[in-house]
Chain A
Amino acid sequence: MDRRSFTFSALGAMAAIPLGGRAMAAGYPSRTIEMIVPYSAGGGTDLVARAFADIANETLPKAIGVVNRTGGGGAVGLTGIARARPNGYTIGLGTAEITMLPHMGMASFKATDFTAIAQLNADPSAITVKADAPWQTLEEFVAHAKENPGTVRIGNSGTGAIWHLAAEAFGKDAGATFNHIPFEGAAPAVTSLLGGHIEAVSVSPAEVSNFVAAGELRMLGVMADERVGAFPEVPTFREQGIDLTVGTWRGVLVPNGLPDDALAVLREVAATAGQSEAFKAQLAKMNLNHAYMDADAFQAKIAAQDEFFGELMGELGMAR
C-alpha cells in the first residue's frame, strides 16, 4: 500500500467513526472467520460444522473456515473458543460438554464464558436393548433392574460423557441401580450390546438407528420432550412415567465480549443457514436431529443445563 492510498483509507476510517455500529456492521466480516471444532474431522460435530459453514458461506462476504482442535474430550478446543480474542473472527461449534466438563474439574472455562449464537442440532439419549431381550417397555426394564440391583449393565460412550450422565440420571429417577460401563465412544458400546456382553446402551437414536431398523436392537424410550422424527413409534420417557429429558446439543458459540455488530451478523447468518432446507437435508442424511434454537432460547438452555449437570454430578460424587 503506498502512502497516498494509506492516507485515503485513514481518512475513510476516520469518516466512518461517527457513523458508529451501522458502518462497522457493513465491515464485518472483513476477513476469514475461523470456526473451531473441538472434535476430530469426520465425526458428527465436525460434519455439522462443515455443513453449516458451507451453507453460511453462500451469504457471508468472507468465508468461515473449519479448524479441528481436538484433545481432552473436547476441553482443548472448547477452551480455545472461550479464550479466543472476542473480535468475531474466532467462533466455535460448541457441544453440551461446556455444561459438563467444568463441573468435573476438567476445563478451565465455565459455561458462562460463552455467548450463544444459535443451536443447530440436538439428540436425546435413548435406552436401547437387544431385540431378543425380554423387556418390551421401559417399565419392564426398570422392574427387572430393581429386582436385580447392579446386574443390569448399561454401556455409554465414556465416563462423564453425556450418555453416561443420562444413564445415571435415569437410574436416579427410576430408583434402580445400574452397572455403568464406559467405552471409547458410542460405536464400541453398541458393538458390545450386539454381541450380548451388556444389557443396554444409553446412546442417541442416530447411533443405533441402523440396527433398530434391521431388527437387531429395540429402543425402549427416548429422553426427549417429544418423540423422535425417525422413530415415531418409540415413546418418550415422560410418556412412560419418568420425567427426564437428557440429550446432547451442538450450536454456534462465541467468547463473551463480542462487538454488537459482529454478534448481529453472526446471529442473522446462523438463523438463515441454520433453518435452511439445505442444512436440514444434510443433517437428515447424517441421521442427526435438526433442532434450531435462537440465541436467547439457546443461552437460557445452556444456563439451565449447566445447573442440572452441576447438581447431578454433585449427587453422583463426580464434581470436583
Chain B
Amino acid sequence: MFDFSMLAQGVATLAASPMALLMAVIGVAIGIFIGAMPGLTATMGVAILLPFTFGMDPLPGLLLISGVFFGGVYGGSVTAILLKIPGTPAAAATAMDGYALTEKGQASLALGTATVSSFLGGTGSVLVLIFLAPVLARFALNFSAPESFALAVFGLSIISSISGSSPVKGLIAGMLGLLVATIGLDPMGGFPRFTFGFPDLYEVPFIPVMIGLFAAAEAFKTMEDPARRLGRAAKLGRMVPPWDKLRSVLPTIGRSTGLGVLMGMIPGAGADVAAFVSYNEAKRFSRNPENFGKGELSGVAACESGANACTGGALLTMLTLGIPGDAVTAIMLGALTLQGLQPGPLLFQQHADLVFTLFAGMVFCYVAMLVLGLGLMRIMGNVLKVPPALLTPTILVLCMVGTYALNNSMFDVGVMLVAGVAGYFMQKYGFPASPVVLALIMGPMAEANFRRALSLSNGSLDFLWTRPITVALLALALLTLFLPVLRWLWQMRQGGGGARRSA
C-alpha cells in the first residue's frame, strides 16, 4: 500500500541538496530563539521569514519555514522551565512542572526531557503524516461546531487538574479567565463587549495577558525577594536524561503524541490545546497524580511531546485538504501556493516527489532540533547564573519589547503590565495562573462554537446528544471535572471521615 521507493527517493534528493539541509538547521535555530522569547511566536517568525523564501527553490524555502515552525514550538519550553517565562501559550503548560523541577535544582533533567520529548513527539507526528496521511486526511471534516464546542468544554474541565493544591482557587482563576475572555467582539454578532471604546480591545489581547501573568509577575516577585533565583545553577550537569528516567516517561510520550496529532488535525485547536490535554491525560493515567504541579517529569514530557506532535497533525490537514488548522499552517499554505504547489487533494498526485523530499526534510528538522537543543542547553542554562539584579530587569524589558513587537502596539504593553500586577497578587495569595491561560484559550472557542452550532441547527439543542464525537467529548469533560470529587468522596468513606481535607 505504501510506496517506500518514493520515500527512499525523497531521502536521496534531500541528502543531495546541502542548501536545503542548511536552511533546515538555520530555520530550527531561528525558531528556537523566537520561541524562547516571550511575545515572539512561531507564527510571527514564519510570517517574517516568508518573503525571504520567495526567491528560494521550493525545498530550502519550505524547510526554512518548517524549521522555524518546529523550533518555535519547542523553544517556548526552554524559558518556561528555566525562568517560568512561557515563550508560547503551549509552554504555559510546560512551566507548571518544568519550573517546579528547576526550583528543585533539576533544571537539566527537565530541559533534557523536554528536548527529547519534543523530538520524539514531533518526529512521531511527521511519521504519522508520512504513513497515514491518506487514511486520516478527512478526519478534520468530521469536526463541525458542535464537536469543537465539546472539545473546548473538555479543555475547560482540565482546570480541575491544573489547579494545584487548591481546586477552589483554581476554579476562581479559571472563572476570572472566562470573564476576561468575554472582552472583545462578540464572536457571532460582531458586537463590541467591554471594550470601553478601544478598538485595541476588539480581540482579547491573549498573549500580552499570558506574558504578564507569568513572566512579568515572576519578575515582580523576584524584585520583592531577590534571593529567590539564587543557587539553582548547581545541578546543570548532564544533558541527555538518564535512561531509567526516560523510560518511565515513554508511555506518556506515546500517548501525548497521539493526542497531539489529533489536536493538530482539528481545525482551531493547536499546540496550546494539545499541551494542556496531554498534561491532563498524563495525570489521569499516572500512578501518582498528586505529584503533578510539584515537579513531575512526565508532566513536562506530556506537554512537550503533545505540543510538538501537533505540528505533524496540522501539516497533515493542511497538505491533504488545503485547510490550515492554525495561524502557522495558514501562512505555510500561502508559501506553498506561491511556490506553485497548491496544497489539497491534488498535491500528492502532482508533486509526490517533492512532498516526500519535504517529509524527509521535516524529520531532518527534528533531528537538528534535538542536536541543537541538547547542545545549546548548557549555554542557555547559564541564564540561571546571572544575578537577579541583572536578570530581573532584563526579563521585564524582554516582556515589554516582545509584547510591543506582537502588534506594534503600546496598548498591548499596558495590558501586559496590568496582567503582570494582577499575576503578582494572584501568586501572592496562591491563585494559579495556568487556569486563566486555559480559560482564555478555551472560553472563546467554546462560546463561538456553541453559538455557531445553535445557528447551524436553527436553534435546536439536539447537537448535544445526537453526535457521537460531541457526546464522547462532553462525557470525558464530566469525568475529568468530577473524578477528583469522586476520588475524594471515596477516600472519605475509606478513611471513615478522618481524611477530611480543607479542599
In angstroms, Cα B331 to Cα A44, docked, is: 10
* Residues of chain B contacted by A71 (CB below 8 angstroms): 199-200, 202-203, 407, 409
CB atoms of B143 and A210 under 8 A apart: no
* Residues of chain A contacted by B327 (CB below 8 angstroms): 40, 42
A73 — nearest CB in chain B belongs to which residue?
B202
* Residues of chain A contacted by B141 (CB below 8 angstroms): 191, 194-196
CB atoms of A216 and B47 under 8 A apart: no
From B20-28, B73-81, B292-300, B450-458, give the one contacting chain A: B450-458
Is A153 part of the contact surface with B, judged by Cβ < 8 Å?
yes
In angstroms, Cα B200 to Cα A107, docked, is: 11
Q: Using a Cβ–Cβ cut-off of 8 Å, how many residues does chain B contribute to the interface with A?
A: 49
Shortest Cβ distance from residue A286 to the other chain B in the assembled complex, whole angstroms: 6
Is A182 part of the contact surface with B, judged by Cβ < 8 Å?
yes
In the complex with contacts A42-B50, A73-B185, A191-B141, A159-B407 CB distance below 8 A: no
CB atoms of B199 and A198 under 8 A apart: no
Contact among B43, B344, B452 for A214, CB-based, below 8 A: B344
B412 — nearest CB in chain A belongs to which residue?
A71
Q: Which of A65-100 contact B (CB under 8 A)?
A: 67-73, 75-76, 79
* Chain B 269-289 interface 0/1 with A at a Cβ cutoff of 8 Å (1 = within): 000000000000000000000
In angstroms, Cα B47 to Cα A213, docked, is: 27
CB atoms of B340 and A285 under 8 A apart: yes
CB atoms of A285 and B199 under 8 A apart: no
CB atoms of A195 and B200 under 8 A apart: no
* Chain B 297-334 interface 0/1 with A at a Cβ cutoff of 8 Å (1 = within): 00000000000000000000000011110010011001
- Report which residue of A44, A72, A183 has the largest number of chain B beta carbons within 10 angstroms of its beta carbon: A72
- Report which residue of B145, B188, B190, B342 has the largest number of chain A beta carbons within 10 angstroms of its beta carbon: B190
Compute the total of residue contacts between A and B using a CB distance below 8 Å.
132
In angstroms, Cα B48 to Cα A54, docked, is: 14
CB atoms of A42 and B202 under 8 A apart: no
Is B222 part of the contact surface with A, judged by Cβ < 8 Å?
no
* Chain B 37-68 interface 0/1 with A at a Cβ cutoff of 8 Å (1 = within): 00000011011101100000000000000000
* Residues of chain B contacted by A210 (CB below 8 angstroms): 322, 342-344
* Residues of chain A contacted by B202 (CB below 8 angstroms): 71-73, 75-76, 106
* Residues of chain B contacted by A153 (CB below 8 angstroms): 455-456
* Residues of chain A contacted by B331 (CB below 8 angstroms): 41-43
Shortest Cβ distance from residue A282 to the other chain B in the assembled complex, whole angstroms: 8
CB atoms of B189 and A151 under 8 A apart: no
CB atoms of B199 and A159 under 8 A apart: no
* Residues of chain B contacted by A160 (CB below 8 angstroms): 190
Is B382 part of the contact surface with A, judged by Cβ < 8 Å?
no
* Residues of chain A contacted by B344 (CB below 8 angstroms): 210-211, 213-214
* Chain B 186-226 interface 0/1 with A at a Cβ cutoff of 8 Å (1 = within): 01111010000001101100000000000000000000000
Q: Which of A16-75 contact B (CB under 8 A)?
A: 40-44, 46-47, 50, 54, 67-73, 75
Shortest Cβ distance from residue A54 to the other chain B in the assembled complex, whole angstroms: 8
* Chain B 437-452 interface 0/1 with A at a Cβ cutoff of 8 Å (1 = within): 0000000000010001
In angstroms, Cα B458 to Cα A84, docked, is: 45
A44 — nearest CB in chain B belongs to which residue?
B334
* Chain A 286-298 interface 0/1 with B at a Cβ cutoff of 8 Å (1 = within): 1100000000000
CB atoms of B345 and A188 under 8 A apart: no
CB atoms of B47 and A46 under 8 A apart: yes
Is A256 part of the contact surface with B, judged by Cβ < 8 Å?
no
Is B386 part of the contact surface with A, judged by Cβ < 8 Å?
no
* Chain A 183-223 interface 0/1 with B at a Cβ cutoff of 8 Å (1 = within): 11001101110111110000000000011011010000000
* Residues of chain A contacted by B254 (CB below 8 angstroms): none
Is B337 part of the contact surface with A, judged by Cβ < 8 Å?
yes
Is A244 part of the contact surface with B, judged by Cβ < 8 Å?
no
CB atoms of A195 and B144 under 8 A apart: yes
Shortest Cβ distance from residue A98 to the other chain B in the assembled complex, whole angstroms: 13
Shortest Cβ distance from residue A200 to the other chain B in the assembled complex, whole angstroms: 13
In angstroms, Cα B50 to Cα A183, docked, is: 26
Contact among A50, A72, A192 for B144, CB-based, below 8 A: A192
Is A171 part of the contact surface with B, judged by Cβ < 8 Å?
no
* Residues of chain B contacted by A211 (CB below 8 angstroms): 322, 344-345
In angstroms, Cα B44 to Cα A216, docked, is: 32
Q: Which of B345-402 contact A (CB under 8 A)?
A: 345-346
* Residues of chain A contacted by B142 (CB below 8 angstroms): 195
Is A158 part of the contact surface with B, judged by Cβ < 8 Å?
yes
In the complex with contacts A41-B47, A106-B202, A68-B408 CB distance below 8 A: yes
5 A-B contact pairs sorted by A residue (CB < 8 Å): A68-B408, A69-B409, A192-B145, A194-B141, A197-B144
